[in-house]
Amino acid sequence: MLRLLKAVLPLFAASIALATPLDAQAPRWTFTEKGNSGIVGLEAIVVSPTLVLFFDRASDDPLQINNHSAWGALWDLQTSKVTPLDLITNSFCASGSRLSNGTMVSVGGDPNGFPGNPTIEDGTTGLRLFEPCNDPAGVGCTVFEDPATFHLAEKRWYPSSIRIPDGSLMIVGGIHRNTGFYNTIDQAALTVEFFPPKFGGVPRPSEFLKRSLPANLFPRQFLLPDGKVFMVANNQSIIYDIETGAERILPDIPNGVRVTNPFDGSAILLPLSPPNFTPEVLVCGGTNIPDTTPQGDISSQTPATDQCSRILLTEAGIKRGWVVERMLEPRIMPELVHVPNGQVLIINGARTGVAAIGTVKDPVGNSNADNPVFTPSLYTPNAPVGRRISNIGMPTTDIARMYHSTITLTPQGNFLIAGNNPNNNTNITVPVNTRSEFRVETLDPPFMFVPRPRILNAPEKIGFGKRFTVPISIPNSLQPRNIQVALMDLGFSSHAFHSSARLVFMDAQLSRDQRSLTITTPPNPNIFPPGPAFIFLTIDGVTSEGQQVMVGTGAAPPQTNFV
Ligand SMILES: *[C@@H]1O[C@H](CO)[C@@H](O)[C@H](O)[C@H]1NC(C)=O
Ligand SMILES: *[C@@H]1O[C@H](CO)[C@@H](O)[C@H](O)[C@H]1NC(C)=O
Ligand SMILES: *[C@@H]1O[C@H](CO)[C@@H](O)[C@H](O)[C@H]1NC(C)=O
Ligand SMILES: *[C@@H]1O[C@H](CO)[C@@H](O)[C@H](O)[C@H]1NC(C)=O
Ligand SMILES: *[C@@H]1O[C@H](CO)[C@@H](O)[C@H](O)[C@H]1NC(C)=O
């Protein structure tokens, strides 16, 4: 069994998979249809071991609550059932994350209402809290909003956000209202703010956001092991000092490639490993058309880029700049998602066009993008350049996932995929790939179909720089050689980016009887900011289900005492 598995799992050497013929009997990566989300799964975040929270635009979705269309819902990973949530403000094109006390906070959104749905309020300064939910089916769990008294300082539609070392949220960029296509200087939110508020609650101006106009919505950002934040928007990147607001300018992405809305590529912080936790960022897809191109000169058929760019964030790496690689196909709006074994899933998006709805030449239905990519690839960070990306053994779906679609790793270890709606409302009369999409799928790795290792029990909370021991079970089919323990934030999926997503490997010692693992936690909150996480155990490429833990004390942000 182990030998057969190796044939389909392009683990840490893509060359193994390339050289070995596929075995028809071996389990494979598989797409599985799971049912109907009732609202477009336009934003997605795992909020408990069994629940994913979806947000959509407030419009005319089929799922109803209190006699109006819902635009928030809980997806039950165990039953594939959806439960509507009653929201107040429009959560369209928002961001979010979980805080150090486990609370999910969704930030920003759309100013508009929708005809026939009178309950919708302006979401641009929206703050929506979902407190930790202990009921496996989400019974009694709701979203809290009080827009009159509890809101952001600045209007933000299309912002992004990350949890920082004190467990708060840093919220970056956005736009005040609809400008048609590009972000414009008169409507741009050219600032950074925090929740809970810091620095007197006054949004702090950012030169980087100004310089990266007009294609800088949903800036991609990552917390670095020195406590600073790496950001990329348009073709530019910086390192941001949270305390002082100072911005260090890094090299531009080469070849004129732009990676943020409306030219969405995706970006990911590659897994951090002890002892050095050296950070590297990978950015894939987007477009190489100039950001001065009038929208009327862009079409749904304009080719996307196949470029990935990777930068090592050490002094030597910054000096060298971005190193270019190529995907197997061009992709606008791809998703880059951590796999618990350290690989990166490259999935979704389209070969041509750009993001947004009905704003360029020759839209397909109302879609600015066309030619969806139906086959995912895997990126193996440690393989040599040119051999890192493979789709051997990967399945092909027939459901397009372009603008307003999401994907998240689940606590079960597979990927939940939802949404696609390049329309202003529910539209099923447009060409098939651009219809409002309510079908949910999973992408199941081969390990979902074989006996898996298990973490039998985990502490509720884990501190920093500590050791703890967990009981595990290893199936007879595995003889433990390569053991990986991943501490993961599964991120908030919105607009081809996973805010706060993170994978930190932890050193682990297997006991002589192979029944327990002694794990060393990350040394400090810069490596993994305090908050909820899942621990996955991978043995020779076969991954366990994730065990939920709280990193840190579970206290509300800002946290100052770390144990
Ligand atoms: C529900 O909405 C319909 C159509 O707008 C209306 O006729 C009906 O009175 C509403 N029911 C309640 C309980 O508000
Ligand atoms: C990045 O884009 C700006 C325009 O937004 C352009 O002036 C600059 O040359 C680009 N950088 C590279 C390396 O192409
Ligand atoms: C979508 O709605 C916006 C207003 O929010 C409008 O300007 C635009 O024309 C609409 N696009 C389509 C294709 O209906
Ligand atoms: C769907 O989009 C098409 C193309 O813009 C438009 O003609 C049609 O009216 C839309 N249907 C609905 C229900 O909005
Ligand atoms: C978590 O912290 C946030 C920010 O201080 C607060 O609004 C929220 O109510 C807290 N949640 C719980 C469960 O204490």
Question: Does residue 426 carry a pLDDT above 60?
Answer: yes
Probe residue for ligand 2, chosen from 210, 234, 235, 293 as the CB with the greatest number of ligand atoms within 8 Å: 235
pLDDT-derived band at 21, boundaries 50, 70, 90: low
Provide mean pLDDT across the span 332-346. 98
Mind giving me the DSSP string for 321-386? --EEEE-SS--BS-EEEE-TTS-EEEE--EEEEEEEES-SBS-BTTEEEEEE----EEE-TTSPTT
CA distance 63 to 85: 10
pLDDT of residue 126: 98
pLDDT of residue 26: 85
Residues with CB under 6 A from ligand 4: 365-366, 425, 427, 429-430
pLDDT-derived band at 562, boundaries 50, 70, 90: confident
Residues with CB under 6 A from ligand 3: 112, 178, 357-358, 366, 424
pLDDT of residue 93: 98
Neighbour count for residue 124 (Cβ, 10 Å): 25
Tokens of 202: 């006054």
Tell me the residue ranges of DSSP E strands in 78-235.
82-85, 95-98, 104-107, 127-130, 143-144, 160-163, 169-172, 191-195, 204-205, 220-223, 229-233
Question: Does residue 415 carry a pLDDT above 50?
Answer: yes
Mind giving me the DSSP string for 219-247? -EEEE-TTS-EEEEETTEEEEE-TTT--E
Kindly state the percentage of the chain with pLDDT values over 90: 94
The pLDDT tens digits of the residues spanning 356-405 come to 999 999 999 999 999 999 999 999 999 999 999 999 999 999 999 999 99
Backbone phi and psi for residue 534, each to the nearest 5 degrees, phi listed first: -120, 140
Residues with CB under 6 A from ligand 2: 234-235, 252, 254, 256, 291
The pLDDT tens digits of the residues spanning 80-124 come to 999 999 999 999 999 999 999 999 999 999 999 999 898 999 999
SS3 447: helix
pLDDT of residue 25: 76
pLDDT of residue 3: 37
Tokens of 398: 């027939």
CA of 67 to the centre of ligand 1 (A): 6
User: Taking the chain, what is the end-to-end CA distance rounded to the nearest angstrom?
Assistant: 43
CA of 63 to the centre of ligand 4 (A): 20
Beta bridge pairs of residue 162: 170
- Closest ligand 3 atom, CA of 366? 13
Minimum CA distance residue for ligand 2 atom 1: 235
pLDDT of residue 102: 98
The pLDDT tens digits of the residues spanning 25-75 come to 789 999 999 999 999 999 999 999 999 999 999 999 999 999 999 999 999
pLDDT of residue 254: 98
Mean residue pLDDT of the chain comes to 95
The pLDDT tens digits of the residues spanning 464-517 come to 999 999 999 999 999 999 999 999 999 999 999 999 999 999 999 999 999 999
pLDDT of residue 561: 81
CA distance 347 to 337: 8
Question: Does residue 2 carry a pLDDT above 50?
Answer: no
Provide mean pLDDT across the span 439-459. 98
pLDDT of residue 22: 58
Question: Does residue 19 carry a pLDDT above 60?
Answer: no
CA of 44 to the centre of ligand 3 (A): 24
The pLDDT tens digits of the residues spanning 193-235 come to 999 999 999 999 999 999 999 999 999 999 999 999 999 999 9
Report yes or no: 450 and 27 within 8 Å, Cβ to Cβ. yes
Question: Does residue 342 carry a pLDDT above 50?
Answer: yes
The pLDDT tens digits of the residues spanning 507-544 come to 999 999 999 999 999 999 999 999 999 999 999 999 99
pLDDT of residue 87: 98
CA distance 267 to 28: 26
CA of 424 to the centre of ligand 3 (A): 6
Kindly state the percentage of the chain with pLDDT values over 70: 96
Neighbour count for residue 202 (Cβ, 10 Å): 12
Chain CA centroid to CA 61, Å: 24
The pLDDT tens digits of the residues spanning 108-166 come to 999 999 998 989 999 999 999 999 999 999 999 999 999 999 999 999 999 999 999 99
Beta bridge pairs of residue 128: 106
Tell me the residue ranges of DSSP E strands in 366-501.
367-372, 377-379, 389-390, 405-409, 415-419, 439-444, 454-455, 461-462, 467-473, 483-489, 492-494, 497-499
Q: What is the pTM of this model?
A: 0.95
pLDDT of residue 503: 99
> What is the 8-class DSSP label of residue 494?
E
- Closest ligand 2 atom, CA of 254? 13
Probe residue for ligand 3, chosen from 120, 176, 187, 357 as the CB with the greatest number of ligand atoms within 8 Å: 357
pLDDT-derived band at 15, boundaries 50, 70, 90: very low
